[in-house]
Structure 1
Amino acid sequence: MTDSASITPELIAAQTEASMEELGRRLDDDDYSTPFAALNDWHLLRAIAIHRPELARPYVHLVDQEPFDED
């Protein structure tokens, strides 16, 4: 897990298929000690999906980008 404020271009560039598999597993299991830990992983996956979509492609289903219906 990483703090969403510490997501840097270097962190994104350092991701590998193995680290993405681990990130995807954590998000899929959704077994976090706090909601903030899950949110930090989600922010990292979202940043990777934007900047390195080839790595995030197998996990894009975990990035919920559906519009909210607040009514």
Structure 2
Amino acid sequence: MAADSGNGISAILDLSTHVFVNSDLTINLLRKPVGEWVCLDARTHLSSHGGGLAESALYDELGLIGRATKS
């Protein structure tokens, strides 16, 4: 669930004036998470041609577990 939240957390456009549909979600995991908590470090990158990429690094208490991207 955390991997699917990156675009909302890192939104840099005003959601009252911009809408978007994520057509994909790619998750690459290094290993299974340890413990109950997952940290999400999310960023959004925009192009001048109307595209964007939401990129998230996923961590647990031991460190990086993977990355998620949405276009």
Same fold, TM-score > 0.5, yes or no: no
Normalized against structure 2, the TM-score is what? 0.21
In proportion to residue count, which structure has more strand? Answer: 2
Higher helix content, 1 or 2: 1
